[in-house]
Structure formats: structure tokens, C-alpha cells
Structure 1
Amino acid sequence: MRVLFVCSGNICRSPLGAQVLTARLGPDAPAFEVESAGTIAQDGAPMDPAAAAQSERLGGVPGDHRARYLTEAIAGSADLVLTAERAHRSAVVSLAPRAAKRAFTITQFARVLDGLAPADLAGVSSPAALVELVARLRGTVAPPADPADDDVDDPYRRSTATHERVADEIAAALTVIADALRAVR
């Protein structure tokens, strides 16, 4: 399964998300191709050092991450797209309309998973079936009172405390997502 994280510059939130999800998947990580891209990324830009430090703190491996610009091919080839903000999800769907059923904000996907009953998950036997189920049931789980609560703030050029808060928010959502993906693998 190919999981794509999308943010703006592909130097903070999306690489952090990809790295933390890989860490949270643990021994099951090789069954997933986890990557990232940005809607306004400058190809080859390095990961923001503050975001890389947060990734390391949360078990991620920043390595030699290099930003890449989101294209139709990248968006269209993903089995699950997790975006930092609703605007990024819109950009993905504009590039690859068929991705609409597979694209969510990170926090939305986790929120819908949290809202499902165990009976909802009966018979789900693959990560692809899980994505299909969440897409089908996303309208049955109450949305946040403020739609912006489905967005993850951009920490770029902000304080260490902001980077830490954003990283912790992403990590909390990805723990829910990784647990669900591992459970149906």
C-alpha cells in the first residue's frame, strides 16, 4: 500500500508524518510505501531542522529527506493520501479527481477511525478495504465544531514549542492510523 503525506513545502509536516507513520508501523512498515510531497515544494529542499528534530524525538528517521513537488502522477498513484490541511486535500483532488475517496486530512482520518464501532471493522481484511470503509463512513462520524480543527498548523519558521505541539498532534493521529493499518494487514 502506498501512503502519501501532503503539505505545502514538503519540509515540515508531510515528511514528519511519513517518518512518524513508518516508525509507528514498526515491523509492519515494509508492507507500506510511505512518501511525501508538497503543493508548493521546491524540489530538493532539505527538511526543516526543527521538524527533523521533532521527527527524531518521535522515533522517525529524517535521513536525507528532499522535498518534491506534488504532481498528478504522485497524487493519483497513492492508495491513501493524508494531508496536513483541507486545502492540501483540495489540491490533491484537483490534480487527481479519482483520489477524492482516498484523500483525508491526517486528523480527519484518525477522527473517523476513532468514531467507528468494532462492528464497523468486521470483515475489513486489508489496508485498502480500511481506506474504502473510512471513505464510505466519513459522513457518519460527527465533524469537529470548527472545520479548521481538521487542519494541522504550519510550524515553519515558528517557535520550538509550536513545532513540538504540531508534531505531537500529528503523532497522536498517526498512532491511531498505524494501529488500524496494522490490525487489518
Structure 2
Amino acid sequence: MSDFDVPPRTRRERREARADAGAPVILTVCTGNICRSPQAEVLLRARLRDLDVRVHSAGTRALVEREMDRTAQELALQHGASPDDLAAHRARWLQEPLADDADLVLAMSREHRTAAVELSPRHLRHTFTVREFARLASSLSDEEIRRAADAAGSTPRERLAAAVAVVSGQRGLTAPAAPQDDDVVDPYRREREVYVESAEQLAPAVDATARVVRVALSGD
């Protein structure tokens, strides 16, 4: 039985447990959990492999226990994912304990962002589309992110939460994007060219996310 199957008895206990849990948690979300969100998951893991960070993915209408889509796997491998991570993936539903445990939720579209917030409303400021997070983070220097993390405390989850908060603070300060520019296109059952487009939208956003996490946790 996983940690997510036995949530703490109260939200206060859950928050206290999270503060002491050590490794920060990043959750990526799409619809079926076989294309975009597992791509984001395995690419983030690859970028952050030397750091103690837990990365999970889930789907709002997951094709439960399905493997990752083969074309999505191939493109993720080209972008640096681990073959072992690709082989291990099995789709699962987005559920409240999973969303509530995350320090950062990265949705593949605004629709998925809304679904995650509805499950865990207190994480509104910690939930973004992945391209939105990258866009907002681009207005912040490494020094600004590091300063926010240093002021927050010494635990990894405190430091990441502070970095995410400073990114969230850019909402309303930066020029809004066109709605489609904050979404990653859904390639499922479409032409290979759409899979390529989707991966090319996702990979730079993952890199931008990894920068924020790495600066917050390691100062590099």
C-alpha cells in the first residue's frame, strides 16, 4: 500500500507530515497519463537525477495501468529520459492525496490545472501549466530564486515552496500569454508530427522548471 492510499487523519497532520517528509514532490498531470504527463515526469527525473526530488504523474481520466504511449516514449528517450523510467511507467488516476502531497503541480493544459486545483484548492498558488511555470520563471534570475529559498528555511520542501511562491508571484506582473501558449498540445492518436510538436513544447518547459528546482535546492 502506497503513502497516497493512507492520507493523514487531518489536514493539519498532513501538512506537518509533508514538512518533515524530506524530499520535495513534483506532480505532472494530463488526461490519460500515457503521453504528456509521463513525458514530463521522466524528463524531470532525468534533469534532477542527482537531487533528492520525487516526481510523479497522473491523469484526470487515466487509462489505468497502461504503459506509456510508444511514440511518446521514443521522443522522451531522444530528449534524455531514462529507458528504465519509461519502461516502469503505468498510468494512474489523479486523486486528492496525490495532488495534496505535491509541492509543485505541473499540468499539461489549463483544463488539467483546473482539475488539480479542484482536488486540492489550497495548492492554487502551487499549480501551473508547465509552460506557464516556465514563462513566469523566465522573468526571475537565479539569484532571485536562491534568495527566496534561502529566506525560507533549510529543508528541501521549504526551499522549493519558497521558489514556487516567487514564481507564482509573477502572475499579474508579466504579460499574459495567449491561452494556447500555456498548453502542451495533446498528441494522443494523432500524427507523428503532433507528437513531435508536443515534445518540443514540453522539453524547454521541463528544462526551465528544472532550473528553478535546482537553484532552490542546491544553489547551483
Q: 2:34·2:63 contact (CA, 8 Å) conserved in 1?
A: no
Structure-2 change in CA distance of 1:134 and 1:44 (3 Å):
same
For 1:61-140, list aligned pairs within 5 A: 61=82, 62-117=86-141, 120-121=144-145, 123-125=147-149, 126-140=159-173
Larger RCO (CA under 8 A, 6+ residues apart):
1
SS at match of 2:176: coil
After superposition, the C-alpha distances for 1:107-157 in whole angstroms (9 at most, x for unaligned) are 00000000225664352222221011112222211111x222101110111
C-alpha separation in 2, matches of 1:118 and 1:154: 31
TM-score (norm 1): 0.93
Query: Are the counterparts in 1 of residues 62 and 93 from structure 2 also a CA contact under 8 Å?
Result: yes
Q: Which runs of 4+ in 1 moved over 4 A?
A: none
What SS does the corresponding residue of 1:45 show, helix, strand or coil? coil
The residue matched to 1:110 in structure 2 has which SS? helix
Identity of aligned residues (%): 40
Q: Provide the residue aligned with 1:24 in structure 2.
A: 47
RMSD between aligned alpha carbons?
1.4
Give 5+ residue unaligned stretches, structure 1. none
Q: State the partner residue of 1:8.
A: 31
Bigger Cα Rg: 2
Q: What residue in structure 1 maps to residue 202 of structure 2?
A: 170
Structure 1 SS opposite 2:106? strand
Contact 2:29 2:107 in 1 (8 A): yes
